[in-house]
A and B are shown apart, each in its own frame.
Chain A
Amino acid sequence: MKQIKDLLERQKPMFQRGGKYERFHYLFDMAETFLFTPPFTTGSKGVQVKDPIDLKRLMMTVVIAMTPCLVFGIWNVGHQHYIAIGQVATFFQKMYVGSFVVLPMVLVSYAAGGIAEAIFAVIRKHPINEGFLVTGMLVPLILPPTIPLWQIALGTIFAVVIAKEAFGGTGMNVLNVAMTARAFLYFSYPAQMSGDVWTYLGDASPVEGYSGATALALAYDSSVAGTSTVLASLGDSWYANLYDFKNLFLGAIPGSIGETSTLMVLIGAAILILTGVGSWKIIVSVFGGALFMGYIFNLMGLNEFMLLPSHYHLVIGGVAFGAVFMATDPVTATHTETGKWIYGLLIGVLTVIIRVFNPAYPEGIMLAVLLMNVFAPLIDYYVVQANKNRRLKRATI
């Protein structure tokens, strides 16, 4: 410890004002504060003692909450790979294949976004914000395993630069950064983001009868064809019981790397709620909104997809992951507590509407979150206005 500390102390003057590498001050600062908590003390007036929490701790908690999804995602990539090529494999073989696919994606995302972040910190002279710890992990988890690495790099850089830094950096962005990366990739490279991209095959060829279609695609097809009920078409997949409710909940299904397992997402949600880092109000209300809308559609029952039992909406696609890790981003969500209920509810409702009615893109959570990001300030405006009105009402003059 002492040696590292001394080493840092020796280099420090070079990075301070007037030093040789003054412009890289914030990079040095990042490394230093990463290794050692800063020795700063409180000001002379005001709070003399402070809570030890900081943004690093907060963001790290979110990364920890995502770990179950990441680990399960790695296994699932391997698992899907082996069932698609019709081989029986051990847990370790599956993890090996999965790691081979997923870890480079995570590395590329962190590296590309991190470099963009660092360049902006140097040019704009602001400290490197810890928010990227989360974004860098979120991006690979919401992408299909077959996506080319260069696209991940491009999408992450686009999101960091356009969605975040252009607005003034962490804390100022309007749109969720990771969702922007995904939306950018989806609309720029639809071929790599939809269709048969959800299972990593590698060089092997799939077994006979294999289909890479996701549950959402099957449900949508059933409403177009109208020949069989939606549950029958889900049950009729090429691999036995692939899309029954239990398997959908556990997540051994094709899909984006981190999104498939509702169980793992719920573990993450438990961590976020227990630590108080994620807003339980948003998580609950997104689920509630999706259930509610699914139920309304059941009552209307105009096509087969609308007849999908509403609890299925929570376990297929990215609803659970989006509710827990995307909608709860405190910067882009509503900032008032009442607003959080409305915001979450509308995300849930919109997700189901989009996924049932939008033929181009069967997954609704991405667009729903981005849309509500834009409307969050409006919701806040009315909640804050209500607070002001209560105060005005009280006044007699």
Chain B
Amino acid sequence: MSKYVKLKKGFNVKLAGAAKLEIVDSLSPSIFALKPTDFQGIERPKLLVGEGDVVKAGAPLMFDKTHPDVMFTAPVSGEVLEIRRGEKRKLLEIKILADKQIEYFEFHRYSSSDLNSLSRDEIIKHLLISGIWPRFKQRPYGVIAKPKDKPKAIFISAFDSHPLSPEFDFLLKGQSQYFQAGLDMLQKLTRGKVHLNLDSNAEVSTLFGSVTGVQVNKFSGPHPYGNVGVQIHHLDPINKNEVAWTVCPYGVKQIGKLFLEGIYDASKIIAVAGPPVKKPRYYRTYDGACIDKFIENNLSHQNVRFVSGNALTGEKIASDGFIGFYDHLITVLTEGDHSEFMGWLKPTSKLSFHRAWGLVSFLKQNEKFELDTNTGGEERAFVQTGVFEQVTPMDILPTHLIKAIMAEDYDEMEALGIYEVVEEDLALCEFIDVSKHPIQSILREGIDLMLKS
């Protein structure tokens, strides 16, 4: 029962500086961090370690008081170097100085034949203590899934259509057995189906081509066709009182490895890319890696911003900051803190969704653009209508939803479909907005209101 969905609405942000398909193994940083701020839906994180403690990879570092079962564990083994707090003692980073040779906390190992006999509760127990659980996000709201829920389906988007995002089949090359084992586990967690959604614009890799036991769907179109929220909308939309889970392919692989090898493997390949990067390429490292080594002598100039994640939904980090829990990409962008004389009037060839800016942009289909972080204007009242709909391939009225959130109208938010979207699904609206509204943070405010109601 696989589905093929062709989407037309959307926009590809063609950012220059994509990473070359080569992996650097030798350059691993020494400091790693777990950032509680990466997680949506946790409120009161409680520490389980103190500065100076020695931990193994997979050992719990903290938990959240609202879901005490969910452990957040160490990506690497080593010594807890620093616990950084911000205003009002808000927990920001748990830094670990990594050992040269990673030692793993040992979980139970299963042979592939044992896996079939595992019960749902056993699987969940393992996922909770190992630190993999936070990979599961629930829809609605995009927060960490609740272990007691039985989701109507689990959705995996096997590709990321955000600018410069790496391909999962490249990141997970040679890990098919773990990936398949992970999928097998997922099937026991849901009362419905496990959906694996592939990019029909690209060739199907051996990793995703050989999977069994799941529903494989294909999507084509411009970004955001890779967003799992958009895919859910077209496969099995979220209604009131329904819950679905999402997980990324990297998480699926981690699950497989946990059960087959008995370790929490937080090693990942990340891309460091963007216009000012001299050698955009991939690095083999671990979750929460400090980015300083990757950018050292690798930038064409210094007035740059480092973003954990992609240019549409990412978060700014310092030059010695750490890559986020869910990210596989560091985007480096030139800071746009410059003025342009009569810049709003003169004809240019900048990348724009609006034809009022780039009337002849269709001539430059394949060009990549060196975007910077300039806002391109000031915030204004809503004026233009009908454009958000052109980049939102869902039966949702983004302008009306955003206005309902601003008015804090709970019934309207629900009726207009707040259950179906998270920030990334409306990120393009924020990108193209003529009036420069912070759409994603408005949406998160609305979601927070709904969560508390």
Query: Residues of A at under 8 Å CB distance from B?
Result: 1, 4-5, 33, 35-58, 60-61, 127, 129-131, 169-172, 274-277, 279, 330-331, 333-337, 340, 384, 387-388, 390-392, 394-397
Contact = CB atoms under 8 A, between A and B. Distances in A.
A337 B13 contact: no
A172 B311 contact: no
A49 B15 contact: yes
B371 interface: yes
A35 B345 CA distance: 10
A41 B383 contact: no
A279 to B, nearest CB: 6
A394 B237 contact: yes
B351 to A, nearest CB: 8
Interface of B: 13, 15, 163, 237, 239-242, 305, 307, 311-316, 331, 333, 335-345, 348, 350-357, 359, 371-378, 380-387, 389, 395-397, 399-400, 415-417, 423, 427, 430-436, 438-441
Contact of A53 (B15, B338, B352): B352
Contact of A37 (B163, B331, B377): B377
A51 B352 contact: yes
Given A42-B375, A275-B356, A48 B386 contact: no
Given A5-B339, A57-B344, A337-B389, 6 more contacts: A36-B342, A47-B430, A50-B436, A129-B381, A330-B386, A396-B239
Contacts of B355: 274-276
A48 B380 CA distance: 19
A5 B340 CA distance: 10
B431 A51 contact: yes
Contact of B374 (A5, A41, A171, A397): A41
Nearest to A333: B385
12 contacts: A39-B336, A43-B441, A45-B315, A46-B430, A48-B331, A48-B373, A49-B15, A51-B352, A53-B352, A55-B377, A58-B434, A391-B415
Contacts of A44: 315-316
Contacts, number: 226
A1 B341 CA distance: 7
A43 B400 CA distance: 23
Chain A binding site: helix, strand, loop or mixed by DSSP? loop
B416 A39 contact: no
Contact of B378 (A40, A46, A279): A40
Contacts of B352: 51-53
Contacts of B436: 50, 54
Q: Which of A47, A56, A331 has the most CB of B within 10 A?
A: A47
B240 to A, nearest CB: 5
Nearest to A383: B397
A396 B240 CA distance: 9
Contacts of B415: 388, 391-392
Nearest to A393: B239
Given A60-B345, A171-B383, A330-B385, A49 B333 contact: yes
Nearest to B13: A49
A178 to B, nearest CB: 15
A9 to B, nearest CB: 10
A168 to B, nearest CB: 8
A164 to B, nearest CB: 11
Q: Which of A53, A58, A131, A276 has the most CB of B within 10 A?
A: A53
Nearest to A272: B356
Given A37-B376, A60-B344, A49 B381 contact: no
A46 B351 CA distance: 19
Nearest to A395: B239
A37 B441 contact: no
A37 B377 CA distance: 7
Contacts of A41: 305, 335-337, 373-375
Contacts of B315: 44-45
Contacts of B439: 46-47
Contacts of A279: 385-386
A384 B397 contact: yes
A46 B315 CA distance: 6
A394 B339 contact: no
A336 B389 CA distance: 9
Given A46-B438, A171-B381, A51 B353 contact: yes
Given A170-B383, A330-B385, A394-B237, A48 B316 contact: yes
A127 B435 CA distance: 12
B344 to A, nearest CB: 4
A274 to B, nearest CB: 7
Nearest to B310: A48
Contacts of A38: 339, 375, 377-378
A56 B307 contact: no
B432 A36 contact: no
Contacts of A49: 13, 15, 163, 311-312, 333, 371-373, 431
